[in-house]
Amino acid sequence: MSWLALRVLPSGVAQVTYSGPSLRRFLDPSSRLRLSALAVATIASCAVALWVGMLLIEAQDEGEADARFLHRVESLRSAILSEYASSAPPSRGDESLARILADCLQLSASDAGQQRRLTKLGALLDRQRVYGPAAPAADDGVTLMQDAERGNAYVVLAAHAWIDAIQLDVESRHAVSKARQAQTFRWLQWAVAATLISALLFGLVLIRVMRHLSRQGLARLSRLEARANRDPLTGLPNRRLLQDRLEQAVQRAERRGCHTAVIVLDLDGFKPVNDTYGHAIGDVVLRRVAKRMRAAIRSEDTVCRLGGDEFVVIIGEVDDPVYAVRRARDLVLRMSRPIRHEDKVLRVGASAGLALFPDDAASGSALLELADQALYAAKHGGRGQVITAGEVHHGHTTISPLPEPQVIRAARA
């Protein structure tokens, strides 16, 4: 859904607010394709990085579990030596052999081979504890002691063999886990790099697209504001924008202590040309006249079209009122030149009324009204002349009429 909001400011300028269709309708197919591809690549890279990160965490957890298992197995070896080897130092700590063996079984719950080894080792220890000689007899005590020592030595050797096998298996698995961690970390680095590159490219393309859309929006807004504040035929400011420009010129002149001149011009003989050759030729005449007027004024001055064949020129920062009168006469001369279009020579004249700030009025609207009254006096006083508001109030004209176009051409020849 789109809409156009037109709001008139207190100064009289029209402000246009436009809300257009969705973003997708503004994007060309190639931009949509690039953005979609980069978005998919970014999402895929993020998913891969997340998956690889989970693999790395899993590998690290496995490595930590193997390290804990190796530590408990080594504690199991020390406990067995402490209990069954007479030459071994006493075990430190208060952990029992059964408790350590239970921890080892719990830590190796995911490995069936280790479970079998530890179960056999536990069974051997239980058998030695149950069936081993508890105390020697009086007659053959030495022999029984030797048998007990041999049984304990067998337990220690068997425990050493099984624990060494367990450690070798776990250490080899731990080495494989370390290598997998290193490889997974490299994959994670590549995935993160790919994600960052994809996100960067997506951001760059999105910034470029948004800048393009901003330029499009500003251009569209400028066109809409131009339609609201400018004449569609000549491109000149219209009556609505005239009020704002006039008030600004009056305020600048008041601040700087100078004059502002308002010149209202009207074409003489435009209606016969329009009726004879048609409205298309009349539009050509208006566009040519507007072009001549734009070329005749300074960049800080303003020329507007009020409607029909009537124009207004605002000359700001005028130090000498005579300069404004000269500019008005120059505009009348420029507008009175013949207009050549195709095989036709179109002839129109012009009359002008002029009012000065602050001599004639203290506001923009009053200046425009006085200049229009002066124009009315000029058109009814013979046309082709410039009349000031002061002359209208004094009841006489001090500026003589301009010569006819034939006299101008003869003087140039």
In a domain, 10, yes or no: no
Radius of gyration of the chain measured on its C-alpha atoms:
51
Do residues 163 and 265 both lie within one domain? Answer: no
* Pairwise CA distance, residues 99 & 53, whole Å: 36
Per-residue pLDDT of 81-102, as tens digits, reads 776 665 444 444 445 777 777 7
In a domain, 209, yes or no: no
Do residues 334 and 400 both lie within one domain? Answer: yes
In a domain, 38, yes or no: yes
**Phi–psi pair at 297, nearest 5 degrees:** -110, 165
- Over 50: is that where the pLDDT of 139 sits? no
Selection from 11-20, 80-89, 225-234, 398-407 with the highest mean pLDDT: 225-234
Torsion over CA: 392, 396, 399, 405 (sign): positive
Angle, alpha carbons 330-240-307 (nearest 5°): 55
Do residues 375 and 322 both lie within one domain? Answer: yes
CATH number of residue 311's parent domain: 3.30.70.270
What is the number of other CB atoms lying within 10 angstroms of the CB of residue 243? 18
pLDDT (0 to 100) of residue 13: 53
User: Which tokens go with 320?
Assistant: 């000498």
Determine the average pLDDT of the residues in 16-20. Answer: 51
In a domain, 22, yes or no: no
Q: Which of 142, 177, 202 is the last residue of a domain?
A: 202
Beta bridge partners of 303: 313
Beta bridge partners of 5: 17
Q: Which residues contact 341 (CB under 8 A, 6 or more apart)?
A: 281, 284, 288
Do residues 245 and 141 both lie within one domain? Answer: no
Q: Which residues contact 225 (CB under 8 A, 6 or more apart)?
A: 14, 15, 16
Do residues 196 and 243 both lie within one domain? Answer: no
Q: Please state the domain count of the chain.
A: 2
The more confident residue out of 76 and 294 is: 294
In a domain, 271, yes or no: yes
Do residues 126 and 193 both lie within one domain? Answer: yes
Do residues 150 and 280 both lie within one domain? Answer: no
The bridge status of strand 310-318 relative to strand 302-307 is antiparallel
Do residues 249 and 192 both lie within one domain? Answer: no
Note if the bond before 358 is cis, omega within 30 degrees: yes
Per-residue pLDDT of 305-335, as tens digits, reads 988 899 999 998 888 889 999 999 999 999 9
Per-residue pLDDT of 218-249, as tens digits, reads 777 777 777 778 888 898 998 888 888 999 99
Phi-psi group of 371: left, alpha or beta (phi > 0 → left; psi -120 to 50 → alpha; rest → beta):
alpha
pLDDT (0 to 100) of residue 132: 54
Model-level pTM greater than 0.75? no
Torsion over CA: 166, 167, 168, 174 (sign): positive
- Among the ranges given (14-23, 135-144, 293-302), the one the predictor scored with the smallest mean pLDDT: 135-144
Do residues 355 and 401 both lie within one domain? Answer: yes
Q: Which of 202, 223, 254 is the last residue of a domain?
A: 202
Do residues 257 and 358 both lie within one domain? Answer: yes
In a domain, 193, yes or no: yes
Q: Which of 143, 174, 202 is the last residue of a domain?
A: 202
Do residues 38 and 93 both lie within one domain? Answer: yes
DSSP state of 9: -
Beta bridge partners of 18: 4
Domain of 380, in residue numbers: 239-412
In a domain, 403, yes or no: yes
